[in-house]
Chain A
Amino acid sequence: MRRRRSFFGRNAPVLLAYLAFVILMGTYIGLLPRFSGAQAISIANQGMTLAIASLGQTLVILTGGVDLSVGPLIALTNSVAASLMSDDPVRVALVVLLVLIVGMACGALNGILIAYGRLQPIVVTLATSSIYTGCALFVRPRPGGYVPEWFTDALTTSVAGIPSALILLAVLVALWLAFRRTRLGVSLYAIGSSEGAAFMSGISPARAKVAAYTLAGLSSAVAGLFFTAQTATGSALSGNVFTLNSVAAVVLGGTSLAGGRGGYIGTIAGAYVISVIVSVLFFLQVSPFYQSMFQGGILLLAVAIGSLQLLRVKNRLEVL
């Protein structure tokens, strides 16, 4: 006696996110005097750090949690990388490895505190974000450091003739599509949808959560590496904007904060909508003062539109 939803009904949020993205990109491209490949790459790079970081945030939010330490982890990896890198490729490779391990360790700490310590994600990641910021400040009390030019070029322009941004996006999407089809991936959806049912079905919620937060730490670290390439310097406090923007990207992309529904495909659109808005406003010669108003306003509008479908729900108990 329940109504079955169509493909459009079930995937409406993601489709809306991409619609928003297309409209925004259309506006932007229309405004540019010329649109070249280099412009496209520039746009892709603008949103890349956020897009990468939002992958981890998507995983965490799917389990019904949230990771507020994303920004500080980006800053921490940025600080460590800029402080240790040199021109030597071997050294850079080792630094990259170190940074990834640090990211995973920090994420694992979040996961263990939440899953085994049974503390709420919002307060745990709030506390650890303070700790990770402290670590970043310890490594880099003042902005600076050194990032080799070949590293910057490799990540932000092209490798062997193919635009790096394209490669990165392709890798991210491929990783996500594969992950969604792993047992771990399904278990994240399961515990977000109903932790009790998942437990009854043989899943260990604790282990899945630790995995989710560890992967989030890893994705923040990768985002931090890209950020390092983009800014070519290290700074302990510059990552903060990414925390809440990554949550916004996930929500805009149609993933429910309650968990169990959504995915990264929508998040990518959400991340780029957020990043491109700033550029569009700049081109429209809107005073930078208005930027925040637009960003906040558009986020709220998007979420409100997404919520409108809740108004159709006839059982008031379900919308409490």
Chain B
Amino acid sequence: MALLEARDVSKRFGGVVALDGAEFHCEAGQIHALLGENGAGKSTLVKILSGVLEPDSGTILLNGQPVSFRSPAEAARAGIVPVFQELSLVPDLTVAQNIFIGREPRNRWGLIDVAEMNRKAAELLHSLDFQHIEPDIPARELPLAERQLVEIAKAVAREPKVLILDEGTSALGAHEVQQTFAILRRLREQGCAVVFISHRMEEIQTICDSATVFRDGRHVATFAMGEKSHDEIVSLMIGRKLADVFPPRPARPPEGRVLLETREFGWEDRLKEISFSLHAGEILGVAGLEGQGQGDLLLALFGAYAGTRGQVLLDGKPARINSPTAAMRAGIGLALVPEDRKTQGLILPMSVRENISLPTLRRIARVGFIPSSEERSRAAEMISKLAIKAGSAEVPVGTLSGGNQQKVVIAKWLLSQAKVYLLYDPTRGIDVGTKQEIYRLMRQLADEGLGLLFFSTDLSELVNLCDRTLVMYEGRIVSTLAGAELTESNLVSAALNLSPQEKAQIYV
């Protein structure tokens, strides 16, 4: 009998269907992978299983008994504990306070015993091989990788029956991944069920016993590890052959005009001595573990950071960019498709038209007034050019699906006629169909002579879409891969800052 099971679970958000009659089950004493592209419904399922969301329909069974959780606290009490990427640590509380939140040890007067709490936290961290993390530091002062480790420690401290890791290792380096794997194996021996979500196939093949593949909110297949090959798994995930997904790359990497060049570009201790060139017609990828400075690089280039070091040249001329407005206006123009389209890329309550026209409003304005017919026609032009599916240009952009929202983000920059695009994981959380449209659009922009700097967490995108890829580690570019060298395997080694031999020793 399965320890945890989901039957016929459906969930929609507004007009978007996240889960459509999904089925899932996992056994005690097994590490079970949950695979699927971004937007396949994995995170939604996890949130339902752990009590963060309620399903619209369907049943969840724990040990054969139907259960319904009204809050994460209830699910945790039942033994289901999730570890998300970065969602449950309270920034201003210390590591120890976060680990024991709601269950703090108390002294004889009923007050929290801080010394005891710190001691127990240190003990726990030590037992998990995380000794270097100090328990009395506020969580906000820890680097991303350490915060992930604390999240894992916090989950383990609750003695879970089912531990769900949703991309919980995305920022961890090789050593920390090993430590985490040791913990997971120990939990497995104790009879816990572990659900492991990651897009690093090597990790999955190393640690997991079995796997389930989701696609478009539905269950596609469940099998034991080893039964299916890597390519078969990928086909199950994307539902078609890989070759059909990406537009063809030009045979030789472009070497034309240099649109963007950085020389010893740096910021604080997050970016160090970054030097690279972006040519017209090139899609330049940026890869690496999460939190190594990729996002910082894009934001710093776009002017959101003060105090940058080094030089940035646009079209060969030095540029001083100290705000997004300056970035838009500097010479050939920069555009940013940011990390979180909902809070950084779009203003959700405002209409599609208003979002599309926002960056270029001042350009079409006459004496401060907005010519409304011109605004409308420009928006309509973009909507049709990018095939944005929306009821009308006047609906709030928050009602659109993820893919269409991302198209709106791109549309607003198309109007600005920028020549350099900075993209942060633009296809995260978007359905396959729209993803392909975005890939084609990116290649089209490159063909028109634009330069794209493109950070992605999806290795196949970096391999198949990019002409070259830079790999970052601790704020530096540690390698550049192009042509035949640009493979997923090499990207992973470079990201972990390992040589291929070292990597082979760690992973299966």
Residue numbers of A with Cβ under 8 A of B are: 1-5, 10, 178, 181-183, 186-187, 189-190, 192-194, 196-204, 260-261, 314-317
Q: Among B88, B141, B475, which residue has its beta carbon within 8 angstroms of that of A197?
A: B88
Question: A203 and B143 in contact (CB under 8 A), knowing A194-B90, A317-B299?
Answer: no
Taking the complex as formed, is B269 at the interface, i.e. its CB lies under 8 A from any CB of chain A?
Answer: yes
Q: What B residues does A194 contact at CB under 8 A?
A: 90-91
Number of A-B contacts (CB under 8 A): 96
Q: What B residues does A3 contact at CB under 8 A?
A: 141, 269
Interface of B is mostly: loop
- Distance (Å) between the CB of A180 and the closest chain B CB? 9
Question: A202 and B73 in contact (CB under 8 A), knowing A186-B101, A196-B87, A260-B92?
Answer: yes
Q: Are A314 and B137 in contact (CB under 8 A)?
A: no
B92-119 interface code vs A (CB 8 A; 1 in, 0 out): 1100011001101000001110100000
Q: Are A4 and B137 in contact (CB under 8 A)?
A: yes
Q: What A residues does B159 contact at CB under 8 A?
A: none
Q: What B residues does A4 contact at CB under 8 A?
A: 137, 141
Q: Are B104 and A183 in contact (CB under 8 A)?
A: yes
- Distance (Å) between the CB of B135 and the closest chain A CB? 13
Taking the complex as formed, is B71 at the interface, i.e. its CB lies under 8 A from any CB of chain A?
Answer: yes
Q: Are B97 and A186 in contact (CB under 8 A)?
A: yes
Q: What A residues does B104 contact at CB under 8 A?
A: 183, 186
Chain B interface size range? 35 or more
Q: Are B73 and A189 in contact (CB under 8 A)?
A: no
Chain A: CB-nearest residue to B82: A200
Q: Are A183 and B112 in contact (CB under 8 A)?
A: yes
Q: What B residues does A186 contact at CB under 8 A?
A: 93, 97, 101, 104, 112
| 16 more A-B residue pairs beyond the given contacts A4-B141, A201-B72, with a C-beta to C-beta distance below 8 A | A1-B291, A1-B474, A2-B142, A3-B141, A4-B137, A181-B112, A182-B112, A186-B97, A189-B90, A189-B92, A189-B93, A193-B92, A197-B90, A198-B101, A200-B84, A314-B307
Q: Which 3 A-B pairs have the closest CB atoms?
A: A202-B73, A200-B88, A193-B92
Q: What A residues does B140 contact at CB under 8 A?
A: 2
- Distance (Å) between the CB of A205 and the closest chain B CB? 11
Q: Are B112 and A2 in contact (CB under 8 A)?
A: no
Q: Are B88 and A1 in contact (CB under 8 A)?
A: no
Residue pairs across A and B with Cβ atoms less than 8 A apart, 26 shown, are: A1-B291, A1-B475, A182-B112, A189-B90, A189-B93, A190-B93, A190-B101, A193-B91, A194-B91, A197-B88, A197-B89, A200-B52, A200-B72, A200-B84, A201-B72, A201-B88, A202-B73, A203-B73, A203-B101, A260-B92, A314-B267, A314-B305, A314-B306, A314-B307, A315-B299, A317-B304
Q: Are A203 and B141 in contact (CB under 8 A)?
A: no
Taking the complex as formed, is B394 at the interface, i.e. its CB lies under 8 A from any CB of chain A?
Answer: no
Taking the complex as formed, is B26 at the interface, i.e. its CB lies under 8 A from any CB of chain A?
Answer: no
Q: Are A316 and B93 in contact (CB under 8 A)?
A: no
Bound-state CA distance A204–B299 (Å) is 35
Bound-state CA distance A186–B101 (Å) is 8
Taking the complex as formed, is B328 at the interface, i.e. its CB lies under 8 A from any CB of chain A?
Answer: no
Bound-state CA distance A183–B106 (Å) is 9
Taking the complex as formed, is B378 at the interface, i.e. its CB lies under 8 A from any CB of chain A?
Answer: no
Within 8 A of A (CB), among B330-362: none
Bound-state CA distance A260–B94 (Å) is 12
Taking the complex as formed, is B440 at the interface, i.e. its CB lies under 8 A from any CB of chain A?
Answer: no
Q: Among B101, B142, B305, which residue has its beta carbon within 8 angstroms of that of A201?
A: B101
Bound-state CA distance A199–B72 (Å) is 7
Taking the complex as formed, is B76 at the interface, i.e. its CB lies under 8 A from any CB of chain A?
Answer: yes
- Distance (Å) between the CB of A23 and the closest chain B CB? 29
Q: Among A178, A183, A189, A261, which residue has its beta carbon within 8 angstroms of that of B102?
A: A183
Bound-state CA distance A316–B89 (Å) is 23
Q: Are B304 and A316 in contact (CB under 8 A)?
A: yes
Q: What B residues does A178 contact at CB under 8 A?
A: 111
Question: A1 and B269 in contact (CB under 8 A), knowing A202-B102, A315-B305?
Answer: yes
Q: What A residues does B112 contact at CB under 8 A?
A: 181-183, 186
Q: Are B101 and A202 in contact (CB under 8 A)?
A: yes
Chain B: CB-nearest residue to A316: B304
- Distance (Å) between the CB of B299 and the closest chain A CB? 7
Q: What A residues does B142 contact at CB under 8 A?
A: 2
Q: What A residues does B87 contact at CB under 8 A?
A: 196-197, 200
Taking the complex as formed, is B270 at the interface, i.e. its CB lies under 8 A from any CB of chain A?
Answer: yes
Taking the complex as formed, is B381 at the interface, i.e. its CB lies under 8 A from any CB of chain A?
Answer: no
Q: What B residues does A181 contact at CB under 8 A?
A: 111-112, 114
Bound-state CA distance A286–B312 (Å) is 57
Q: Are B111 and A316 in contact (CB under 8 A)?
A: no
Taking the complex as formed, is B268 at the interface, i.e. its CB lies under 8 A from any CB of chain A?
Answer: yes
- Distance (Å) between the CB of A48 and the closest chain B CB? 26
Q: What B residues does A201 contact at CB under 8 A?
A: 72, 88, 90, 98, 101-102
- Distance (Å) between the CB of A181 and the closest chain B CB? 4
Chain B: CB-nearest residue to A261: B92
Bound-state CA distance A272–B52 (Å) is 44
Within 8 A of A (CB), among B128-147: 137-138, 140-143
- Distance (Å) between the CB of A202 and the closest chain B CB? 4
Q: Are A202 and B76 in contact (CB under 8 A)?
A: yes
Q: What B residues does A192 contact at CB under 8 A?
A: 92
Chain A: CB-nearest residue to B142: A2
Bound-state CA distance A181–B117 (Å) is 11
- Distance (Å) between the CB of A315 and the closest chain B CB? 6
Interface centre among A1, A198, A317 (most CB of B within 10 A): A1
Q: What A residues does B97 contact at CB under 8 A?
A: 186
Chain B: CB-nearest residue to A199: B72
B133-166 interface code vs A (CB 8 A; 1 in, 0 out): 0000110111100000000000000000000000
Bound-state CA distance A229–B291 (Å) is 59
Within 8 A of A (CB), among B283-323: 291, 299, 304-307, 323
Q: What A residues does B98 contact at CB under 8 A?
A: 201
Bound-state CA distance A187–B268 (Å) is 33
